[in-house]
A and B are shown apart, each in its own frame.
Chain A
Amino acid sequence: MSVLLEVNGISVSFDGFKAINNLSFSISNRELRAIIGPNGAGKTTFMDIVTGKTKPDAGTVLWGEKNLSLLRMNEAQIVEVGISRKFQKPTLIETQTVFQNLLLSLKKLRNPLSTLFYKLSIADENEINIIANEVNLTESLSVLAGQLSHGQKQWLEIGMLLAQKPNLLLIDEPAAGMTAPERKKTVDLLKKLSKNQSVIVVEHDMEFVKSLECRVTVLHEGGVLAEGSLDYVSQNDKVIDVYLGR
């Protein structure tokens, strides 16, 4: 398995506070990975760095076989190479319908003129229907995104990631606000996705992480504390101390 994303020794500090401290991390193609850690461990900042929202003070972030440096790209270029992100708080265009949200996410030319003269084709419409079906939103295609329930919003955002056909999905707290059956569906969906793409899930809910049945990286104070199967890391003394509690 080849390495898809390789993060090497990154550090970033905000006003003297070291949010990320010499963190290294890598993920292979078609791997599902969960990142856990207490509040302030740097999980979201890590995603900010990978997606270009925050620039680190030191370290490298390399992408794909060609080892492209993500640090030299802006947010839009990073999306273009194939990294899509779901935010902790559902981030949708709430004033537009589910259909329009998905349409904007489709992998198409992204310059002003080509969007001005874009015509909705039957192929694109089918693609949107397939994605909507996958995230259980077929009934709600014409509903405004702002009117969806919290769980549905999470799903729509995942659907919007799917539409971009990324190689790596960064998913921040997907299970928040979901009922038990919805969680189960989300787990199934994420597992299915990881057959074709790499997926990084940040989650607090241990039950949810357990059901993903994947490798787990534990972050603490901006660095990696432990990495391995959930059973392995949950027996690690340091992990028990800072996160799980005795």
Chain B
Amino acid sequence: MKKDFLNYINKANSFFWVSSIVILFTLIIILLSEAYGLNLVSTSFTKVLGKTLCLCIVALAMDLVWGYCGILSLGHFAFFGLGGYMIGMWLMFERTKNIVVESTQNNILPLTETEINEAVGTQIFGVVGGAEIPLIWYFADSLLIHIILILLVPGVLAYIFGWLAFRSRVTGVYLSILTQAMTLALSLYLFQNDSGLRGNNGLSGLQNIPNLDDFSQAELSIWFLILSALTLIFTYYICNLIVNSKLGNIITGIRDNETRVRFLGYKVESYKLFIFVITAIISGVAGALYYPQAGIINPAELAPIASIYLAVWVAIGGRGYLYGALIGAAFVSLASSYFTGGQIPNINFGLFTLKWVDWWVVILGLSFVITTLYAPKGIGGLIERIFRRS
């Protein structure tokens, strides 16, 4: 029976199992929520949970590209951030425009289009000393186009980068360094005031959804939780489909013996590119759901360290196990916000005080080392071993 269970969580059925848990979890939170339930779970904590689901989505992407295809990308959080920026532009523009129009409602003459744009420009870009709306905001008033951009921008960037890198047969640690350089370059560029995305101020006020002013933050947090949960389930379905198909065999083949796959007649570069682009798009979608819940995005979010954390989550959760990536991302990111949130009192040892905020990184680093040494397959591998033994 144990073996049946093992097969159950490993094979295509793990989709059923994971989606059930996610749905159940979401329903429980709704029941306990401030907006629609017993008011036992605060709005801010609902947002933390919703954001955690988005981090689970990007962890799935990382597991697919690293755990299954063997590409240690240190750039997937950059795609996540780009997705966030793409939705952020629409959110910020539309809301500022609504505020401008609202505040001048009592004017005798209604504002012209140019006047509105100028006012919006001053509102948004005043902090970086400008009033002009940059060209990249051209479509900022169209939600539909920006939803397409959420998929397109990370996808195209990943395509160009991947095409150049994989075609030159850059692999292993060199590829990781390249992806990290890409992330750093993007982050540094966004820090510039004239990048057109408000430099280090980033985009803010993203928690206010334009045209949905009737909904309170408590209600919105629940709707974002539901949306994140559904996207997570959909992403899990896609990833599960990929890893259980012949394509899945090929990408794990590339991970384990690239030469053989190449000399079986498969264009290894196309496969890597395919997986790299798909996972970049998934990351972009996750980011677009994350930042409206976080409320603010700035270039620091795209810094290479974030992508390294992502690799750590997947390593702790278990490379090559989709459910492992979920466990890793959920567990580590929740623990991270718990320990760095300042809720636990510091421990005074007399000579020195243990400050959790400072020591959390050390604990995380230690657990990464311990995982690598004693459970190279992470939590997913441990789960498998426990059930296989008994």
A interface residues, Cβ below 8 angstroms from B: 51, 74-76, 79-80, 84-85, 87, 91-96, 100, 103-105, 110-112, 115-118, 160, 164
Please tell me if B171 contacts chain A, counting CB pairs below 8 Å: no
Q: Complex: how many Å from CA A27 to CA B257? A: 30
- Taking the closest CB of chain A, its distance from the CB of B169, in whole angstroms, is 11
B252 and A96 form a contact (CB under 8 A)? yes
Q: Complex: how many Å from CA A105 to CA B250? A: 10
Given contacts A76-B266, A110-B266, A111-B270, contact A96 B260 (CB under 8 A): no
A76 and B265 form a contact (CB under 8 A)? yes
Q: Complex: how many Å from CA A115 to CA B251? A: 11
- Taking the closest CB of chain B, its distance from the CB of A106, in whole angstroms, is 10
Contacts of A164 in B (CB 8 A): 264-265
Closest to B272 in A: A112
**Residues of B241-275 whose CB lies within 8 A of A:** 241-242, 245-247, 249-250, 252-253, 256-257, 259-268, 270-271, 274
Taking A84-B263, A93-B260, A116-B246 as known contacts, 13 extra A-B pairs with beta carbons closer than 8 A to each other, sorted by chain A number, are: A74-B267, A76-B262, A76-B267, A91-B260, A93-B249, A93-B252, A94-B256, A96-B253, A96-B256, A112-B274, A116-B242, A116-B247, A118-B247
Closest to A116 in B: B247
Q: Complex: how many Å from CA A180 to CA B368? A: 50
* Nearest 10 pairs of A and B residues by beta carbon: A79-B265, A112-B274, A118-B246, A115-B247, A116-B247, A93-B253, A115-B246, A76-B267, A91-B260, A95-B256
A-B contact pairs, 23 of them (CB 8 A): A74-B267, A75-B262, A75-B265, A76-B265, A76-B267, A76-B268, A85-B263, A91-B259, A91-B260, A93-B249, A93-B256, A94-B256, A100-B249, A103-B246, A103-B249, A104-B246, A104-B249, A115-B245, A115-B246, A115-B250, A116-B245, A118-B245, A160-B264
Closest to B256 in A: A95
Given contacts A103-B249, A111-B270, A116-B242, contact A92 B257 (CB under 8 A): yes
A104 and B264 form a contact (CB under 8 A)? yes
- Taking the closest CB of chain B, its distance from the CB of A85, in whole angstroms, is 6
- Taking the closest CB of chain A, its distance from the CB of B12, in whole angstroms, is 13
Contacts of A118 in B (CB 8 A): 245-247
Report the contact-size class of chain B (Cβ under 8 Å from the partner).
20 to 34
Q: Complex: how many Å from CA A51 to CA B241? A: 33
Interface centre among B246, B247, B266, B271 (most CB of A within 10 A): B246
Q: Complex: how many Å from CA A91 to CA B247? A: 20
Q: Complex: how many Å from CA A112 to CA B166? A: 15
Closest to B254 in A: A93
Contacts of B252 in A (CB 8 A): 93, 95-96
- Taking the closest CB of chain B, its distance from the CB of A200, in whole angstroms, is 15
Q: Complex: how many Å from CA A80 to CA B268? A: 14
Q: Complex: how many Å from CA A201 to CA B307? A: 48
Contacts of B270 in A (CB 8 A): 111-112
Q: Complex: how many Å from CA A164 to CA B263? A: 11
Interface centre among B241, B250, B268, B274 (most CB of A within 10 A): B250
B257 and A91 form a contact (CB under 8 A)? yes
- Taking the closest CB of chain B, its distance from the CB of A154, in whole angstroms, is 14
B253 and A105 form a contact (CB under 8 A)? no
- Taking the closest CB of chain A, its distance from the CB of B40, in whole angstroms, is 43
A79 and B249 form a contact (CB under 8 A)? no
B264 and A79 form a contact (CB under 8 A)? yes
Contacts of A115 in B (CB 8 A): 245-247, 250
A110 and B265 form a contact (CB under 8 A)? yes
Contacts of A100 in B (CB 8 A): 249
- Taking the closest CB of chain B, its distance from the CB of A80, in whole angstroms, is 6
B261 and A104 form a contact (CB under 8 A)? yes
Contacts of B261 in A (CB 8 A): 93, 104
The answer, among B260, B262, B274, for a CB contact under 8 Å with A92, is B260
- Taking the closest CB of chain A, its distance from the CB of B55, in whole angstroms, is 26
Q: Complex: how many Å from CA A93 to CA B261? A: 8
Q: Complex: how many Å from CA A112 to CA B241? A: 13
Closest to A94 in B: B256
Fill in one digit per residue for B188-224: 1 if any A CB lies within 8 Å of its CB, else 0.
Answer: 0000000000000000000000000000000000000
- Taking the closest CB of chain B, its distance from the CB of A233, in whole angstroms, is 30
Contacts of B253 in A (CB 8 A): 93, 96, 104
Q: Complex: how many Å from CA A94 to CA B274? A: 23
- Taking the closest CB of chain B, its distance from the CB of A156, in whole angstroms, is 11
Given contacts A91-B259, A93-B253, A96-B253, contact A112 B264 (CB under 8 A): no
Q: Complex: how many Å from CA A118 to CA B250? A: 12
- Taking the closest CB of chain B, its distance from the CB of A15, in whole angstroms, is 20
- Taking the closest CB of chain B, its distance from the CB of A190, in whole angstroms, is 19
The answer, among B246, B257, B262, for a CB contact under 8 Å with A94, is B257
Closest to B267 in A: A76
The answer, among B247, B260, B263, B265, for a CB contact under 8 Å with A112, is B247
Contacts of A94 in B (CB 8 A): 256-257
Contacts of B263 in A (CB 8 A): 51, 75, 79, 84-85, 87, 91
Q: Complex: how many Å from CA A75 to CA B270? A: 13
Q: Complex: how many Å from CA A192 to CA B284? A: 55
Interface centre among A74, A80, A91, A104 (most CB of B within 10 A): A104
Contacts of B257 in A (CB 8 A): 91-94
- Taking the closest CB of chain A, its distance from the CB of B6, in whole angstroms, is 16
